[in-house]
Amino acid sequence: MTVEEFLKTEAGEFHGALLALWWDGRGDWGKAHEIAQDIAGVDGAWVHAYLHRKEGDVGNAGYWYRRAGRDVARGDLRVEWVAIVTEMLGR
């Protein structure tokens, strides 16, 4: 599935980290964050990190990147979102 197909798919097709990313891709940061808070493991931490970076809470984002075992992202938010979605869809 491509990123474009991902965005065109109904939310019910996804769960966990991909569902949170789907909502964020649709512009609903709040719903994405609500879902991300309940996702255990490194995928949940990575999405949570991205969402806090997007929010502008760099300190909290750094905590979640560490929990995810990832370097703190510093580039374009859309590029990071696409990278996360692409990696998770490829599993």
pLDDT of residue 79: 98
- Kindly list the domain boundaries of the chain, sorted by start residue: 3-89
User: Which helix H or strand E contains 60, and what residues bound it?
Assistant: helix 58-68
Helix axes 41-55, 16-25, angle to 10 degrees: 20
Question: For residue range 49-88, what is the model confidence (pLDDT) as tens digits?
Answer: 999 999 999 999 999 999 999 999 999 999 999 999 999 9
pLDDT, position 58: 96
- What pTM value is reported for the model? 0.96
